[in-house]
């Protein structure tokens, strides 16, 4: 009788205990880097892809995982749209472009197909993307996150082993509010934040002057406020946008460009943070 009661007590205790998450590593890579921002349209995908090739420029073997299930950008950003192969119908081989291994939901569905999925389906797709891709021999996988602090972000923060997260923002007050939410989510889930990047920081005119279109200094100030590193400022730049539209990221097509050099400088800091 007492045994049964003890057993019931134990079961109830286990059920009520806060859920412990196991953080599974992504196989086939030494390091995993998240590029994130709670705000949409601030340049996460542009920065993820350009940072990946900046890290490649420093001699690292890179992979890029597009975790935006609803709005994948990777196929367009690297001009690649093929179906990944699978030998056993379960695990997939990543595609390869510019010596980077790549995976995106966009390779698996038609471009025009709207993703009308509920949360559990998204989580199941993310499990496939993190556990069933046969990455090989990578130094780092750069993950391009969707905007927000929803299912995708929580799944990555709680259930995937992440070495570091980078938060991207524009200097606008509106964007910074979301950045603060993002910082708190990573802090709460024990994901190390490598630092913040200020994107569309300024526009350099033909007159050589820097125009601060979205305001000034806000990202650096937020980094200080939350005791995080400030990694650098990326200008609003036509060549960066053009190369993205062409499907050949600037840090790959023109690593000597002044904007590529800023990315490479940030990549050096990231590489050091991995040590
Ligand atoms: N520094 C920049 N200079 C010029 N254009 C930029 C810059 N950063 C981003 N863009 C452009 O801004 C748009 C939004 O960028 P991007 O898609 O990278 O943002 P995102 O944060 O990934 O968006 P989403 O939240 O939808 O995933 C794109 O058209 C991109 O080419
Ligand atoms: Mg994006």
The tens digit of pLDDT for each residue in 50-66 reads 999 999 999 999 999 99
Separation of CA 86 and ligand 1 centre (Å): 32
Q: Is 222 in the pocket of ligand 1 (CB under 6 A)?
A: no
Say if residue 1's pLDDT is above 60.
no
Please give the CATH topology (third level) of the domain spanning 23-274. Answer: Rossmann fold (3.40.50)
Q: Is 260 in the pocket of ligand 1 (CB under 6 A)?
A: no
| Residue 55 vs residue 10, higher pLDDT | 55
Beta strands in the chain (DSSP E): 29-36, 62-66, 95-97, 100-104, 138-144, 164-169, 193-199, 203-204, 210-211, 230-234
Q: Are strands 95-97 and 164-169 parallel, antiparallel or unpaired?
A: unpaired
Q: Which of 81-95, 116-130, 172-186 has the lowest mean pLDDT?
A: 116-130
Q: What is the predicted pLDDT for the residue at 7?
A: 86
- Atom number of ligand 1 nearest to Cα 200: 1
User: Average pLDDT, stretch 134-144?
Assistant: 97
Q: Is 68 in the pocket of ligand 1 (CB under 6 A)?
A: yes
State the ligand closest to the CA atom of 40: 1
State the ligand closest to the CA atom of 263: 1
Q: What is the predicted pLDDT for the residue at 32?
A: 97
Mean pLDDT value across the chain: 90
Q: What is the predicted pLDDT for the residue at 153?
A: 87
Q: Is 234 in the pocket of ligand 1 (CB under 6 A)?
A: yes
| Residue 75 vs residue 119, higher pLDDT | 75
Separation of CA 14 and ligand 2 centre (Å): 39
Separation of CA 166 and ligand 1 centre (Å): 16
Q: Whose CA is nearest to atom 5 of ligand 1?
A: 241
Q: Is 41 in the pocket of ligand 1 (CB under 6 A)?
A: yes
Q: Is 236 in the pocket of ligand 1 (CB under 6 A)?
A: yes
* DSSP-assigned letter for residue 133: B
pLDDT bracket for residue 149 (50, 70, 90): confident
Percent of the chain whose pLDDT exceeds 70: 95
Pocket perturbation via mutation, ligand 1, pick of 37, 41, 52 by most ligand atoms within 8 A of CB: 41
Task: Determine the Cα–Cα distance for residues 206 and 141; give it in Å rounded to an integer.
Answer: 37
Q: What is the predicted pLDDT for the residue at 17?
A: 73
Separation of CA 46 and ligand 1 centre (Å): 6
| Residue 2 vs residue 20, higher pLDDT | 20
User: Average pLDDT, stretch 218-234?
Assistant: 94
User: Average pLDDT, stretch 161-189?
Assistant: 89
Say if residue 2's pLDDT is above 90.
no
At which residue do the structure tokens 């070495």 appear? 163
Q: With H, G, I as helix, E, B as strand and everything else as coil, classify residue 249.
A: coil
Q: Whose CA is nearest to atom 26 of ligand 1?
A: 41
pLDDT bracket for residue 116 (50, 70, 90): low
Percent of the chain whose pLDDT exceeds 90: 62
Q: What is the predicted pLDDT for the residue at 3?
A: 78
The structure's pTM equals: 0.91
Q: b vs e for 230-267, b when ≥16 Cβ sit within 10 Å of the residue's Cβ?
A: ebbbbbbbeebeebbeebbbbbbbebebebbebbbebb
Pocket perturbation via mutation, ligand 1, pick of 40, 45, 65 by most ligand atoms within 8 A of CB: 45
Q: With H, G, I as helix, E, B as strand and everything else as coil, classify residue 163.
A: coil
User: Average pLDDT, stretch 204-225?
Assistant: 88
């Amino acid at each position: 009788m007492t045994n049964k009661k003890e057993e019931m007590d134990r079961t109830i205790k286990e059920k009520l205990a806060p859920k412990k998450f196991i953080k599974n590593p992504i196989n086939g890579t030494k390091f995993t880097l998240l590029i994130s921002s709670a705000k949409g349209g601030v340049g996460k995908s542009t920065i993820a892809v350009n940072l990946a090739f900046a890290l490649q420029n420093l001699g690292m073997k890179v992979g890029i995982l597009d975790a935006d299930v609803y709005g994948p950008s990777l196929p367009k950003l690297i001009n690649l749209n093929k179906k990944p192969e699978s030998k056993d119908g379960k695990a997939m081989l990543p595609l390869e472009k510019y010596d980077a291994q790549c995976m995106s939901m966009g390779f698996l569905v038609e471009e025009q197909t709207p993703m009308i999925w509920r949360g559990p389906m998204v989580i199941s797709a993310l499990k496939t993307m993190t556990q069933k891709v046969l990455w090989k021999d990578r130094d780092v996988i750069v993950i391009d996150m969707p905007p927000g602090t929803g299912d995708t972000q929580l799944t990555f923060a709680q259930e995937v082993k992440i070495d570091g997260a980078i938060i991207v923002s524009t200097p606008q007050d509106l964007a910074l509010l979301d950045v603060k939410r993002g910082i708190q989510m990573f802090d709460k889930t024990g994901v190390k934040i490598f630092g913040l990047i200020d994107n569309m920081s300024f526009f350099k005119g033909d007159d050589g002057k820097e125009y601060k279109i979205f305001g000034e200094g806000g990202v650096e100030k937020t980094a200080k406020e939350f005791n995080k590193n400030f990694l650098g400022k990326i200008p609003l730049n036509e060549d960066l946008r053009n190369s993205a539209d062409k499907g050949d990221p600037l840090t790959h097509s023109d690593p000597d460009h002044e904007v590529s050099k800023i990315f490479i400088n940030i990549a050096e800091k990231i590489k050091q943070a991995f040590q």
